[in-house]
């Protein structure tokens, strides 16, 4: 076994180089050496960070300068009862978070949804986008470029799809701003989240545009994609998967289990999620969809920065008259740009792949894209459960007491 002090000395004195260890595929020793140096430089104790449960080699594609792992507590909610386009029945949803009371709240919502017969969910749109920006001399060249793109979609599709055996170019939407031309490419990336796939494919298509038009490529991403930033275009046009989940909850179930009424929840949703969000200038009109999206992303190996778009959601509630004269609650959540995958990226890490196993969704589905669609539908139902539970707590004035009991 390597003596830690000796290892740190050898690295610090230049006798041993960390990049040489990585070149020899000795990733655990490299991580240990780097961690020991950081401890020596900062006087921090990194024992817990260094106590990770998988070979550092497994994380090599996902991180540089590794010193260990951040361990976020993971729990499970469910069963999630869903009737979807890609998934049917009951699944358990792993969530990783440090927020006390979150899983208890989501579980309460899921229990009510299950007692109401389950939620429906559908992916209504699918397309990962990348939008390069080109320079032209002026609007005449911009119009010429746009016209060529619109007339030669097949040539762009051939170039883009030559870089991947899975991705399919769905379309290209041009936008002109002065002497800048933006081309928003959209791809079906199947079961991959697909950002890298879309980027590489778009680069190949851009070479064709630059050869055939007056336009010169300035940047492969012109921020009209729009990745990892709040953007109205994602709310309107979607990015990744647009998915909606809804449920009708009988009025007596609302009163017995949520301790309030359909009318009270509808009013809370209108005044908080709709009017309040509008007054704040929010792009999302929901209570806390980011909680479930973020926790599911961490648990299943999604790109955590894309919670920015993934939580771009609208929650609606409506009181409906039932045949027996009672007032039922219709509840829905629509996530406009949920970027998820079940292959590639962080989904291959050991703990994250195990979480996907809990869902029964590790790897590619049959047909291609079905596993990622199923994951999107399950997350949407989880988010709906969270919205129901929080709005009920607000409508019944139980929010503070719940956090006192569970938030610790």
Each residue of 341-373: pLDDT tens digit? Answer: 999 999 999 999 999 999 999 999 999 999 999
Task: Give the residue-averaged pLDDT of 38-43.
Answer: 92
What average pLDDT does the chain have?
93
Residue carrying the six token digits 């240990």:
32
Angle at which helix 370-395 crosses helix 350-359, to 10 degrees, equals: 80
pLDDT band at 242 (very low <50, low <70, confident <90, very high): very high
Find the angle CA(72)-CA(350)-CA(83) to the nearest 5 degrees: 80
Contact 84, 386 (CB under 8 A): no
For strand 216-219 and strand 313-321, is the pairing parallel, antiparallel, or unpaired? unpaired
Q: Nearest 5°: phi and psi at 79? A: -70, 145
In this prediction the pTM is 0.93
Backbone Cα Rg of the chain: 24
Nearest Cα residue to 62 out of 356, 348, 298, 361: 348
**Residue 175 in tokens:** 């936008």
Asked which of 16-20, 234-238, 384-388 is least confident by mean pLDDT, the reply is 16-20
Catalytic residues: 99, 303, 403
Nearest Cα residue to 312 out of 238, 246, 261: 238
Share of the chain above pLDDT 90, in %: 86
Residue carrying the six token digits 């024992």:
47
Nearest Cα residue to 185 out of 197, 200, 169: 169
Contact 201, 188 (CB under 8 A): no
Residue carrying the six token digits 């921090």:
44
Give the integer Cα–Cα distance in Å for 248 and 230: 31
Contact 216, 135 (CB under 8 A): yes
Residue carrying the six token digits 């081309």:
183
């Amino acid at each position: 076994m390597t003596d830690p002090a000796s290892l740190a000395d050898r690295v610090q004195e230049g006798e041993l180089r960390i990049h040489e260890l990585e070149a020899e595929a000795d990733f655990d020793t490299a991580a240990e050496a780097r961690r020991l140096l950081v401890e020596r430089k900062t006087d921090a104790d990194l024992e817990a960070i260094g106590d990770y449960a998988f070979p550092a080699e497994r994380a090599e594609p996902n991180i540089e300068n590794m010193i260990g792992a951040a361990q976020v507590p993971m729990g499970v909610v469910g069963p999630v009862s869903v009737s979807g386009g890609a998934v049917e029945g009951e699944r358990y949803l792993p969530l990783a978070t440090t927020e006390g009371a979150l899983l208890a709240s989501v579980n309460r919502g899921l229990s009510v949804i299950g007692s109401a017969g389950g939620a429906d969910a559908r992916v209504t749109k699918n397309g990962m986008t990348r939008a390069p920006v080109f320079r032209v001399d002026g609007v005449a060249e911009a119009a010429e470029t746009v016209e060529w793109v619109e007339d030669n979609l097949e040539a762009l599709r051939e170039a883009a799809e030559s870089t991947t055996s899975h991705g399919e170019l769905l379309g290209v939407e041009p936008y002109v701003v002065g002497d800048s031309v933006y081309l928003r490419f959209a791809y079906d990336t199947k079961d991959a989240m697909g950002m890298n796939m879309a980027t590489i494919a778009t680069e190949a298509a851009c070479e064709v545009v630059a050869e055939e038009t007056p336009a010169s490529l300035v940047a492969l991403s012109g921020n009209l994609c729009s990745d990892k930033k709040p953007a109205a275009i994602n709310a309107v046009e979607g990015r990744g998967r647009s998915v909606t989940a809804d449920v009708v909850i009988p009025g007596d179930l609302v009163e017995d289990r949520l301790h309030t009424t359909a009318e009270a929840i509808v009013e809370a949703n209108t005044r908080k999620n709709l009017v309040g969000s509008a007054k704040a200038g929010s792009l999302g009109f929901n209570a806390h969809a980011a909680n479930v999206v973020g926790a599911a992303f961490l648990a299943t190996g999604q790109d955590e920065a894309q919670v920015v778009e993934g939580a771009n959601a609208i929650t609606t509630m409506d009181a409906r008259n039932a045949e027996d004269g009672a007032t039922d609650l219709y509840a829905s959540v629509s996530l406009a740009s949920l970027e998820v995958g079940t292959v590639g990226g962080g989904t291959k890490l050991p703990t994250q792949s195990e979480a996907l196993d809990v869902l029964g969704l590790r790897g590619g589905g049959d047909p291609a894209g079905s596993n990622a669609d199923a994951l999107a539908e399950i997350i949407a139902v989880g988010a709906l459960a969270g919205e129901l539970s929080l709005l009920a707590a607000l409508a019944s004035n139980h929010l503070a007491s719940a956090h006192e009991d569970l938030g610790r």
